[in-house]
């Protein structure tokens, strides 16, 4: 795992600090690893509005995430809650965003579509500003967790 984390050191805000191993912000590493796990272990992932609206799936999601939320820092928790909402309302677009290898312009269009179609997640704000990389990482994290709940499993990573 250490090697993979070093490969993605370029995702960190200050790559020099990342190579020295003194980055304090693990969000970028966690996001890059989450995207890589989705691509490696569930490359054909499908997540639908029908799944995220299913009360049984929502119950599984809440049962797992409520207990894990206490370990998140307050800002991290707020960002994650927004991402959870975005993915619940726009799961197909969220999966596309998490899995895409397209150029930045395509990524930006996906991000804008998710926010514009899910304004309730940001209090119906007219203008929403965010760091695109961080947004994608939080969306990928929420996609992973919704997929776990939809599939009724503990992990998307094969245990064999």
Q: Look at residue 107 and tell me if it is in a domain.
A: yes
Q: Angle at the Cα of 135 (from 133 to 136), degrees rounded to 5?
A: 65
Question: Is this model's pTM higher than 0.85 or not?
Answer: no
Q: Give the count of domains, the chain.
A: 1
Q: Look at residue 15 and tell me if it is in a domain.
A: no
d(CA 140, CA 38): 8
Q: Look at residue 40 and tell me if it is in a domain.
A: no
Structure tokens, 76: 């991290």
Q: Look at residue 95 and tell me if it is in a domain.
A: yes
Per-residue pLDDT, averaged over 6-13, amounts to: 47
Q: Is 72:80 a contact under the CB 8 Å cutoff?
A: yes
Q: Quote the domain boundaries for residue 52.
A: 45-151
Q: Look at residue 14 and tell me if it is in a domain.
A: no
Q: Is 142:80 a contact under the CB 8 Å cutoff?
A: yes
Q: Look at residue 119 and tell me if it is in a domain.
A: yes
Choose among 145, 124, 122, 142: nearest CA to 134: 142
Q: Look at residue 7 and tell me if it is in a domain.
A: no
Phi, psi of 22 (to 5 degrees): -115, 20
d(CA 55, CA 65): 15
Q: Is 116:74 a contact under the CB 8 Å cutoff?
A: no
Buried b (16+ CB within 10 A) or exposed e, 9-27: bebbeeeeebeeeebeeeb
The predicted structure's pLDDT at residue 26 = 67
Q: Model confidence over 89-126: pLDDT tens digits?
A: 999 999 999 999 888 888 999 999 999 999 999 999 88
Q: Model confidence over 34-76: pLDDT tens digits?
A: 999 999 999 999 999 999 999 999 999 999 998 888 888 888 8
């Amino acid at each position: 795992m250490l090697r993979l984390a070093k490969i993605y050191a370029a995702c960190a805000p200050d790559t020099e600090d990342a190579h020295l191993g003194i980055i304090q912000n693990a969000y970028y590493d966690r996001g890059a690893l989450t995207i890589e796990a989705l691509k490696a272990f569930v490359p054909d992932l499908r997540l639908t509005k029908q799944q995220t609206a299913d009360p049984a799936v929502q119950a599984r999601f809440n049962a797992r995430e409520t207990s894990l939320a206490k370990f998140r820092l307050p800002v991290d928790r707020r960002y994650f809650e927004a991402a959870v909402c975005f993915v619940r309302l726009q799961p197909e677009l969220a999966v596309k965003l998490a899995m895409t290898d397209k150029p930045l312009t395509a990524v930006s269009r996906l991000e804008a579509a998710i926010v514009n179609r899910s304004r309730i997640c940001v209090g119906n704000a007219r203008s929403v500003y965010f760091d695109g990389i961080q947004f994608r990482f939080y969306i990928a994290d929420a996609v992973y967790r919704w997929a776990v709940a939809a599939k009724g499993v503990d992990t998307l990573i094969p245990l064999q």
